[in-house]
Chains A and B, each alone.
Chain A
Amino acid sequence: MAQVRLEHITKVFGEGDAAVTAVDDVSIQIDDRDFMILLGPSGCGKSTLLRIVAGLEAPTRGEVFIGEKNVNDVIPKLRDVAMVFQSYALYPHKTVQANIEFPLKARGESKADRSAKAKIAAESLGLGTYLDRKPGQLSGGQRQRVALARAIVRQPAVFCMDEPLSNLDAKLRGETRAELVDLHRRLEATILYVTHDQVEAMTMGTRVAVMDRGQLQQIGTPQQVYAKPETVFVARFIGTPPMNVMPLGLFERSEVLVGVRPEHLRVVSDSGVAATVRMVEQLGHETLVICDASGTRVVVRQDADAVVPPVGEEIHLDAGESHRHRFDPTTERRIEA
């Protein structure tokens, strides 16, 4: 197992006017046995960064270290990295067994060794009875496990996973999340995991790196990223429904943007911000009250058993000092009190 260090990585695709900067001066350190999530919306550069670690793309600038070694000029084969693709990238003409054996075959291991190791990897993921099938005969979840088995079979230093759960249905996704966490614990592996799904990020990661438009926005544990978002982008990206970031002067008479998470807004009788209830969404375990405060949409989350104000009613909203996140309106970065 190993540490991965990215130093000032920049990746530009194309040239001249058509040049697109996919990754913009990103430095991240992924510690040994970290489950690092690269989180961000489509096109934020997270997959490009992952591909740079795997050696499928070369960075335009910057250096990649795996362990203590600079691997910029090392071909993927010699980086000791395994990759799990969103599409699983299983070889459709090979059996499950042959798929799992492939990385070992590529490394010239003997047939007996290959077969034994593939069986162990398959067993550990519950694929023991499917070894003779072709990927086309498997369900999405089973294919996904074959892809995982193919990755773990050669015990790589680093696992790169590119949205491996996004082709699964919601129920299976939930189950597989737990399995991946368990796998991480069992293998004591360093995992670099790309997703746009904040639930995956919050539940699986030991640390989360949030990216937007090629830039690293914040890196920290899921709790840190949730509790103390460093930028307006992170504040709005993490949390469902997202944080209410109020325009200048609405919540406080100051020159800062104020953000409050929906669960931290309280309905009060007179102080705070005046708002009109526009809609009430009953979700069973909670209720979302969607209000309009001088043209700004504000979402309040309440317990299911709370008394909900009716639509059209004028209410006042307030939040405790410790729940107010303040951001600089020009840089959109967090201001610590």
Chain B
Amino acid sequence: MRRKWRELPIAAGMLAPSAVVLGVFVVYPLVRAVQLGHLRCDATGKRCREGGWGQYIDVFRSNEFQHALANTARLALMTVPIGLALGVGLAVLADKQLRGIGFFRTVFASTVATSVAVASLVWFVLLQPEVGVLPDLLHGLIPSLKHPGLLRDPGTALPAVALSSIWASLGFTFIVITAALQGIPRELYESALVDGAGGWMRFTNVTLPMLGPTLLFTSVVLTTRAFQAYGEIALLTGGGPDPERPTQTVPYLIYGQNSLVKNDIGLKSSAAVLLFFVLLVLALVQFRGLDKRVHYAR
């Protein structure tokens, strides 16, 4: 017992660096956000008064938060399944021993090195009706590409943001799934081949189940990213177009330039804390719900 206590200073010293980093950058902001979340501030953001814990419920029930949460969920529903499907598709295509396949792997993975800002600017320029290439090429198919432009049409603004977001995340998904594919023993495919399974059957009976844990992980990461997406919205639509504001997501509501609550630190904090809990519940649901259906090979 005494020996244990003697080691305490050493233990504390060794834990200190991590504890400081964790404390300053995670614990303190979290506690501070929870505190701020029950303040109401005036338009200048300088003077605040106590709003009470009930403010969390008020914010959660508010039309603005509900609207932003619905938009965020829509964004996630567009980006996660499509992003996963494209990532798996490209990774399976590139998982072949072909000459020059390294070039394609590099291309497919390249967006991992592209920041959200760059990706958003690329898509902003591509989709601009005045200068973009896509509107000129495809306006016959999709008239709104030219008038008023995908990002300015309330019906297409969110899908357009999703498009940019999917593209930006594809490199990450591709790399993670490629790595997982290479971990699947070749013999499983060979065995399936000799047993008479065709390409689709090998994909559904070997590839997909063996990717299970990776798909679960990737879907949690992509969902979290979708719920935290801010850069692409700020750069592409600014939460607009008005008045419907179909791209005003929860993160944009929290710190966007054109956000309705842009000066009220209290409301912003309480929205941020609510987002944290929404994400926590989502991740739990994903792990709980899918974990049973995922097989972890030894």
Contact = CB atoms under 8 A, between A and B. Distances in A.
Q: Do A and B bind each other?
A: yes
A102 B191 CA distance: 10
A306 interface: no
Interface string A128-151: 000000101000000000000010
A275 interface: no
Contact of A85 (B187, B198, B209): B187
Nearest to B195: A103
B188 A89 contact: yes
A85 B212 contact: no
B195 A92 contact: no
B190 interface: yes
A324 B196 CA distance: 51
B196 A103 contact: yes
A120 interface: no
Contact of B191 (A55, A89, A93, A154): A89
Q: Is the interface of B mostly helix, strand, loop or mixed?
A: helix
Contacts of A85: 187, 190-191
B192 interface: yes
Contact of A83 (B185, B194, B201, B295): B194
Interface residues of B, number: 21
Contacts of B188: 89, 91
A78 B191 CA distance: 14
9 closest pairs, A vs B, by CB?
A93-B295, A106-B196, A89-B191, A77-B196, A89-B187, A103-B195, A93-B209, A92-B297, A106-B197
Interface of A: 54-56, 76-77, 81-83, 85, 87, 89, 91-94, 102-103, 106-107, 134, 136, 150, 154, 160
Given A76-B196, A93-B209, A106-B197, 14 more contacts: A54-B194, A56-B190, A76-B193, A77-B194, A82-B194, A87-B187, A89-B188, A89-B191, A91-B205, A94-B209, A102-B192, A102-B195, A106-B195, A134-B295
21 contacts: A56-B194, A76-B193, A82-B194, A83-B194, A85-B191, A89-B187, A91-B205, A91-B209, A92-B210, A93-B209, A93-B210, A93-B212, A94-B209, A102-B195, A103-B196, A106-B195, A106-B196, A106-B201, A134-B295, A136-B298, A160-B194
